[in-house]
Structure 1
Amino acid sequence: MKYLFFILTLISLISCNSKVIEVQNLKEGSLVSTNSIKMVSEKSFILDSTTAPKSKYSQIYLDNYGKRYFTFFNRYDNSICFYDYENLNLINKIKYQKKGPNGILMPMGYHIKNMDSIFIYNKHQNQLVLTNREGVVLNRISLINNSNIKNNKWILKYPQYYPRTVTPLFEYKDKLLLTGQFMWSMPDSLIDTFKFTTEVNLKDNNLSFKNYYPQELYGFGVNWDHVIYKEVFSDLNNDRDFLVLSFPISHDLYISDLNTNQYRKVYGGSNFAGTITSVNTPKGKSTPERKEMQHVEETDLYSAIKYDKYDKVYYRFIRRALRKNDINFKWKDKELAIIAMDENFKYLGETNIGKWGDWNWENSFVTKEGLNIEFLNHDDINEVALILKIFKIEK
C-alpha cells in the first residue's frame, strides 16, 4: 500500500492544475436527422435462483454448427451461463473455482474462442487465464509482463482493465485485444508513453501495446480526475482492420489502424451535446467528491461505440447532461441516447431511450436482429429474467 500511496500522491502533485479546456461541439444544432432508432423486439431469458441479471459481460458464441448462444457471466456463482439465443433456454453453465490451481478470484470478462479455449480476465492478478469447458486452468498470461503485482509502480506503465460487453476482448488475427485505461488525471510525463490497448499474441503469449490518449484532450495537466473521463470505449471493424475509439469527453471518434498504429479523427457527436469543460480545480488542490459528481451529472458524456456489420451502421451512446444545480437529480437520471452513423461516419440521427438508471447499457451488443441492450425491470425484485430490448435503425 505504501507504493500506491506514494504513486497517487505523485500523480496528484503533477496532475492538479488550474488549466481548464473546453471541448466544443462545432456541429451542435446543425445536424440533419434522416433516420431514427426504434425498438423492434425483446428477448426475456428466465433465470434460476442462483443467477442474476445486470451482467457486466456477455458474448454471443457461435458453435461449429452455426448455433448461437447468449452467454453471460453470473457473479453469484462465478459461472458463465449458456442460453440458446433463439429459444431462450438455459443450456449449460461453466463454474469456476475461486481458489486453488484452477482458481480465478476476480473474473471480469472473457472470450470464448472455442469450448476448450476460453480466455478469462482475472483482475486480482491482472492476468489472462486460459481455461476449458470443465473450468480447468490451462495457462496464465501476465498482462503486466510478470511485474510484481504488489509493487504498484506498474500502474504507471500498464493499463488497468474493466472489461464490459461494450468493451470486450476482441479476437483479431491470432491475437486478443484488450482495451484498458489510466485511472487518474494524466501526467504530462506519461501522455506520450502510456498505451491503453494490449495485444496478446495467442501463438507465443507475447504482449505488445498501442494507442495513446490524445494529447489535445488529456495533455497539458488538465484535470479529468474522475475515472469516468478516462474510460476508453472501443469496437473492432474486422472488415477494415481498425479499432474505433470513443472517449467520453470528445465529440470526435478516433480511428486506430491496426496495421500502422496511426490515428485519424472523424466527427461522431450528438446534435444536442454542448461544450464539454474540464474540472476547474485550483493548482495543488484536490476536487471535493460532491463537486466531482456534480460535474459528471452536468456534463454530456459519450460512451460505447458499436459497429453493426449487418446494417453497416455505427451506434454511439451518450449520457446527456442534467440541468445545472438541480439537487433532485443524480447521475442515474441522466438521459441515455443513441447516435447512429453510416459506415463512413455520416450522421443519420439519434434517439433518447430513457434514463441511464433504467438500462444496463454496458451489456450491449449487435446481432443480425439489431442492437441488443439489457433493460432493467425495477419491478422484478425477485430477479426472474434478464431482458434484452433490440433496436434497429429505420428511415
Structure 2
Amino acid sequence: MTTDPWGRVDDDGTVYVRTGEGERVVGSWQAGAPEEALAFFRRKYDALVTEVDLLEKRLRTTDLSASQALSSVEKLRTAVREANAVGDLDALSRRLDVLTEQAEKRRVEQKQAQEQARSEAREVKERIVAEAERVAAETTHWKSGGERMRQLIDEWKAAPRTDRPTEQALWKRMSAARNSFSKRRKAYFAGLDQQREQVRQDKERLVAEAESLTDSTDWGATAARYRDLMQQWKGSGRADRTSEDKLWSRFKAAQDRFFQARNAAFAERDAELRGNAEAKERLLEDARTELSEITGPRAARARLRDFQEAWEEAGPLPRDQRDRLEGAFRKLEDEVRRAEDREWQRTNPEARARAEATADRLRGAISQLEDDLDGAKRRGDDREIREAEEALAARRSWLEEAQRALDEMS
C-alpha cells in the first residue's frame, strides 16, 4: 500500500483521499505503479487549487459582482466536495469559506453603492421634474420654454436610473408637466389667434372710416378725427403680419390723400393771404415806432386799441407767417400791459408798504445770519459755515430784488 499525507493507494489499486470527515474513495488505478496513481490524482487537486487561486485574484483585482463571485464559490465548493483528487481538500474548503465572506462583504458594499447611486439618481431626476413642472406652470416665453422642456427630457434620458417604482412615478410627473406645457402653449396661441382676428376686425373698421373721410373739406374737424383714428390704431394691438401690413397701407393711403388735399387747399389760401401779411407787417412797424415814443401807459393803451382794431380788420394770415407776426404783435401788447402794471405798482401805497416790510424782514434775517456765520467760524463748524453762507447769499439776492422794486415805486 502506497500513502502520502492526503491519500493512499490500496493493494487492489483503490485510491483514497483523507479529509476531516475521514477517507473516501476517489478512484482506482490499475495501469501502473501506485506512485503514478497518487501523482495523477494530485494533479487533479492542483487544478482545483489553480481555480481557487484564479477566483481569489479576480475577487481581489477586478470589479467582479458579488453574485457572480458567490456563484463561482458554490461551483468550486461542489467541485471540491465531490473532487476525485488527492490533496488538502479541507484547506481548499477553508479558502472558499474566506472567499464567501469576502463576496458577502462585497455584496453589502455593492448594495450600499447601488442604493447611493439610486438615491443620487432620484435627486437628479426630482430636480429635473421640479424644473419641468415650474416651466409648465409659470413660463410664458413659449419658444425658450419649449427649448428648455426638450433639454430637460434629454437630461432625463441621460441621467442614471433609480429604482423602478420611483422611476415610474417621476416619469409620470415629467410626462404630465410636458403635456401641461403643451396644452398651455396651444391654448395661448389659440387665444392669440382669436385676439389677432379681433384686432383685424377693429382695424378694418378704422380703415373703412379713414377711407370715408379722404374727400372731406372740413379740414379742422377731419384732421382731428384722423388723429383720433391714429390713436385708436396704435392702442388696438397687432393683427397677423399679412393683414397688418395690408391694412396699414390702406390706412396710410387714406390719411395721405386727405392731408395732401388739405395742404393744397391751405397753400392756395395762403397765396391769397399774402396781402394781409404785408399790411400787418406795416402795422407792426408803425405800432413799434409810435408806442415806443409814448411815455404814459394810459396813452399807450389808447393808441394800442387803434392798432388792435386795424390788426383785426387786416384779416387772417398765411400759415407760414402767422406765428411770427401774431407773436410779435402780442409782444407789443404785453409790453403795454407790463408798463401799466408797473405804473400801478409804483403808485399803490399798499404795494409799497409790503415791499418795504419785505426789505426790512430781509435785512433783519441777513443781520441774524451774519451773527450765526461769525459764531460758526469761531466754533470752526464747516457745515454751519457753509449753510450760513448759502442762506446769506440767497437773502442778499432777495434784498437786491426788493430794493429794485422799491426804487421803481419811487
Q: More helix by proportion, 1 or 2?
A: 2
Q: Which has the larger radius of gyration?
A: 2
Q: More strand by proportion, 1 or 2?
A: 1
TM-score of the pair, normalised by structure 2? 0.12
Q: State the structure with bigger RCO (CA 8 A, min sep 6), 1 or 2.
A: 1
